[in-house]
Structures are given as C-alpha cells and as structure tokens.
C-alpha cells in the first residue's frame, strides 16, 4: 500500500496560493475576500467553517463570516447572499451545507453570483463544466468547479497517477462530488463509470477499475473485495461513528494490498480546503 499524502500535497498548493495572493494583492490594492455563511449550530459544519476561515488567514485571504440562526428562512439567507453579491470586497461566497431543518439549498445556491460561486454549484458553472471538452479548456477558462472533485484530480496529478485511458469508477452521484468529478475525469480522458446505491454487481464493477473513488457516505463500505491490486483508491467519505471518523473504505481490510490510497481523514479533506482558496483566487483574478 502506498499512502497518498493529502496533507503534504495541500500544504504545497497552499504555499503557492499564498504567493499568488501576495502578488495579486499588490496589483489590485486589496486582498481577495471570502464570505462564509453558516446557518445554525451544526458541530461538524462549525468545525469545517472554522478550518476554512483559518486557511484564509494563513493564505492572506480576507475572511467575512456570516452566522445565521437555525430558524433563518430561505428569504433571509437569500437576502444575505444578495448583500454579499453586491459587496466589492467579497470575491467568493460559500454557503455551508447542509442547511438545517432539511431546507432545500438549491434556490439559495442559485442566488449566489456565478462569478462568486467558489463551491462550483451554481447551474452556470456546472453547465460550463459539462460543456468543456478537455482539461486544458477547464484550466484556461478558470471555471469554478466544486472543490472536492478538483482536490481529487489534484491528488491524482501530484501522485503521477495516470488518468488517460484508465477506467475510473465513481461511487456516488451527488452534485457536490460524484457528478462534477465524473466530468473532470472524462476531461482527463479516463473512461468513467458512475455507480450508486442502485447499481447492480457493484463489487465486480469496482474491482475492474484502475481508479476507484468512494463517495457513498457509508463508513467502511468498500473492502478488499471491491478493489484490485494496482488500483488507486480515493476515499472521499467522512463518516462520524461515535467519537471516531471513518472513510467509505475499510482501511484495515485493504492496507496490505498493492494499491495507492488516501487516508480518511487526512487525504481528500485538506485538498478540498486548498481548492477553496484556489477558487477564491480565481474569482478575485477575474
């Protein structure tokens, strides 16, 4: 087993972002600004937002945190978003998901200016991604793409794991991870299979893949029976069980296999935050 060191790769990326922020800040006369919106007091969400605010400070990005009570209405959330859209000091807006009380977040996401949509969830940016013909086009157009999928691609690239001509199975079809990641893998010339909870013969399909991305949200769901020797396994899962965090892959069951694998935590998570900073920088540069 070879560990893909997400922490190290993310720190290297963040160091380059910090240099770019310093250079652009001098040119523009101000630092990039990222506004975070946290609705309610979800403990996990508070930790995530806190880590994003800290990352901003370390990179020289100005942070604007906007807490709202758990009973905030959709109208109140959208009103805040519209205010931030008009704020010239704010280059990126991040609405922390999920929203409390099972609120539908899509209308709130649609209210974010697509030019400040650092989560890459606005239909405008999702459409640009789907219409892109290649990875070079995505890079050249500075398309704002969901941070976790971009982090996964960055991990594969920095670990020199070839995507072109390889079979990649993405387990999970969310708008945040599965769908955009499939588009990014296609742009890198992989042959992509999207699997999900209704997929039949999942073990056989997954075991045929050169790259396996687990984003299903079930602790230790994938074991060695789903993975072939020589594969690269990207574990996107962050599942809290009691006081511990587990990925979607049963790490203990696969640790003796001849594979590349990201740990969870410490694999995809750090690069997600790095890509958030990168998206904020892209929005600022635009």
Q: Residue 173 and residue 188: Cα distance in Å, rounded? A: 19
Within this chain, do residues 97 and 48 fall inside the same structural domain, yes or no?
A: yes
User: Is 258 assigned a catalytic role?
Assistant: no
CB-based contact 106:79 (threshold 8 Å): no
Q: Establish if 70 belongs to a structural domain.
A: yes
How many helices (H) and strands (E) the chain has is answered by: 11, 11
Q: Establish if 119 belongs to a structural domain.
A: no
Q: Count CB-CB contacts under 10 A for residue 25.
A: 16
User: Is 52 assigned a catalytic role?
Assistant: yes
Within this chain, do residues 169 and 76 fall inside the same structural domain, yes or no?
A: no
Within this chain, do residues 244 and 164 fall inside the same structural domain, yes or no?
A: yes
Within this chain, do residues 151 and 262 fall inside the same structural domain, yes or no?
A: yes
Within this chain, do residues 104 and 183 fall inside the same structural domain, yes or no?
A: no
Which residue would you say has higher pLDDT here, 42 or 157?
Answer: 157
Within this chain, do residues 156 and 67 fall inside the same structural domain, yes or no?
A: no
Q: Establish if 64 belongs to a structural domain.
A: yes
- With bands split at pLDDT 50, 70 and 90, how would you rate the model's confidence at 235? very high
Mean pLDDT (the chain, rounded): 95
Is pLDDT at 283 greater than 90 in this prediction?
Answer: yes
pLDDT score of 43: 84
CATH code where residue 205 lies: 3.40.50.720
Domain tally, the chain: 2
Q: Establish if 229 belongs to a structural domain.
A: yes
| Active-site position among 96, 103, 248, 250 | 96
Q: Establish if 11 belongs to a structural domain.
A: no
Domain limits for position 71? 29-114
CATH code where residue 47 lies: 3.40.50.10860
User: Is 225 assigned a catalytic role?
Assistant: no
What is the rounded average pLDDT of the residues 104-109? 93
This prediction has a pTM of 0.95
Q: Count CB-CB contacts under 10 A for residue 121.
A: 24
Q: Residue 202 and residue 226: Cα distance in Å, rounded? A: 8
Distance of CA 48 to the CA centre of its chain: 12
DSSP assignments along 134-165, one per residue? SHHHHHHTT----HHHHHHHHHHHHTT---TT
- The tokens of 153 are what? 């691609």
| Active-site position among 119, 235, 248, 250 | 119
Q: Establish if 44 belongs to a structural domain.
A: yes
Q: Establish if 274 belongs to a structural domain.
A: no
pLDDT over 90 percentage in the chain: 90
Is pLDDT at 102 greater than 80 in this prediction?
Answer: no
| Active-site position among 52, 62, 166, 179 | 52
What is the rounded average pLDDT of the residues 7-21? 97
Contacts with 118 (C-beta within 8 Å, 6 or more apart), sequence order:
34, 92, 93, 94, 144, 147, 276, 279, 280, 283
pLDDT score of 242: 85
Cα–Cα nearest to 70, from 103, 33, 116: 103
Q: Establish if 282 belongs to a structural domain.
A: no
């Amino acid at each position: 087993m070879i560990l893909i060191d997400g922490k190290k790769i993310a720190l290297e990326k963040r160091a380059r972002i910090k240099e770019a922020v310093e250079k652009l800040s001098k040119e523009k006369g101000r630092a990039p600004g990222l506004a975070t919106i946290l609705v309610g007091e979800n403990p996990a969400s508070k930790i995530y937002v806190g880590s994003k605010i800290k990352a901003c400070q370390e990179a020289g990005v100005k942070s604007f945190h906007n807490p709202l009570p758990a009973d905030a209405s959709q109208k109140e959330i959208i009103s805040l978003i519209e205010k931030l859209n008009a704020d010239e000091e704010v280059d990126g807006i991040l609405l922390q998901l999920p929203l409390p009380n099972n609120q539908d977040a899509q209308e709130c996401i649609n209210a974010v200016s697509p030019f400040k949509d650092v989560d890459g969830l606005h239909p405008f940016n999702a459409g640009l991604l789907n219409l892109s013909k290649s990875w070079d086009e995505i890079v050249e157009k500075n398309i704002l793409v969901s941070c976790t999928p971009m982090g996964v691609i960055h991990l594969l690239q920095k670990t020199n794991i070839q995507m072109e001509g390889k079979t990649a199975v993405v387990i999970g079809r969310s708008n945040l991870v599965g769908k955009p990641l499939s588009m990014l893998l296609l742009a890198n010339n992989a042959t992509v299979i999207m699997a999900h909870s209704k997929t039949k013969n999942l073990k056989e399909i997954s075991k045929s893949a050169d790259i396996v991305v687990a984003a299903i949200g079930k602790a230790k769901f994938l074991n060695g029976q789903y993975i072939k020797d020589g594969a690269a396994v990207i574990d996107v899962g962050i599942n809290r069980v009691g006081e511990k965090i587990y990925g979607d892959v049963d790490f203990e069951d696969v640790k003796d296999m001849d594979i590349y694998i990201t740990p969870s935590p410490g694999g995809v998570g750090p690069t997600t935050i790095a890509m958030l900073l990168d998206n904020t920088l892209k929005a600022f540069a635009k």
